[in-house]
A = this chain, B = another copy of it.
Amino acid sequence: MTKTIAERADILPQLAEVFRAHGYEGATLSLIGEATGLGKGSLYHFFPGGKQQMAAEVLTEIDTWFDVNVFAPLRTSDDPARAIGNMIEAVTGYFKSGGRVCLVGVVALGAARDSFATEVHDYFARWGDALAGALRRSGDPPATARRKSDDALLVIQGALVLARARDDTKVFVRAMSDLKSRLLTRDN
């Protein structure tokens, strides 16, 4: 019988799902052990800082994913309108049309926010900056771009809450469709 050797890259996504499903406080080491198939010994081998470190690394990985797949395209694309459309598509896929919650939003609402204030703040700040930049380059004046980017972040988070409250992804899908046309319309 060969032992399976775990790698950080495999563990983090499973860890993320546990935190998403149960929140920081609700994600116990037993649940994490089940989801990863790892005992506490292995878990503490990878994350000597315990639960706090696990959540911090998960948040960092989430941030990296968005940086590569969402923020960077918004910042560098020479077709900003197209990049905004791609953002909506990427977000819809990532959040499984509202069937998967945003861990950063969950953390922001909970008591763990204070422990991860920087991670939470920066995630939304960098998303907002990247989106506002794309809107400016597509013709919106700075103040309008900023208002529209705030609006977008807030609609995405709210749609996730409502979709989960109703246990129905329709409201999320419709919100993304509306958001897209609102972002790509110049006169608002």
Contact = CB atoms under 8 A, between A and B. Distances in A.
A150 interface: yes
A94 interface: no
Interface string A158-188: 1111101111000100110010000000000
A145 B174 CA distance: 14
Contact of A165 (B25, B101, B104, B162): B104
Contacts of A6: none
A109 interface: yes
Interface residues of A, number: 42
Contacts of A171: 150, 154
- Name, among A24, A108, A125, the residue most crowded by chain B CB atoms within 10 Å (CB to CB): A108
Interface string A96-138: 0000010011101111010001001101110000000000000
A23 interface: yes
Nearest to A162: B154
27 contacts: A22-B25, A22-B111, A23-B25, A23-B111, A25-B25, A26-B26, A26-B110, A26-B111, A105-B109, A105-B165, A108-B161, A109-B161, A120-B165, A124-B166, A147-B174, A147-B178, A153-B158, A153-B162, A154-B155, A154-B161, A154-B162, A154-B171, A156-B158, A157-B157, A157-B158, A158-B161, A161-B161
